[in-house]
Amino acid sequence: MRRSHLLRFGILLSAMFLMNLVNPSSPLAEVKPQKSLYERFGGVYNIAPVVDEFL
């Protein structure tokens, strides 16, 4: 009896998770393009002084 309840609960959780992935308004479905590391550091004007410090 208890095992069947756990199985039903697992199936329900799996179905809810899959529905959340398929739903286009879901936050999991949105993929934001990530900036490159170069852009996140701020470009050449922010990277050059650091490189110059090492040279």
pLDDT computed for residue 27 by the predictor: 61
pLDDT computed for residue 11 by the predictor: 83
Selected residue with higher pLDDT from 42 and 24: 42
pLDDT tens digits for 7-41?
888 887 777 777 766 666 656 556 677 888 888 88
- Predicted model pTM: 0.39
**Cα(first)–Cα(last) distance of the chain, in Å?**
71
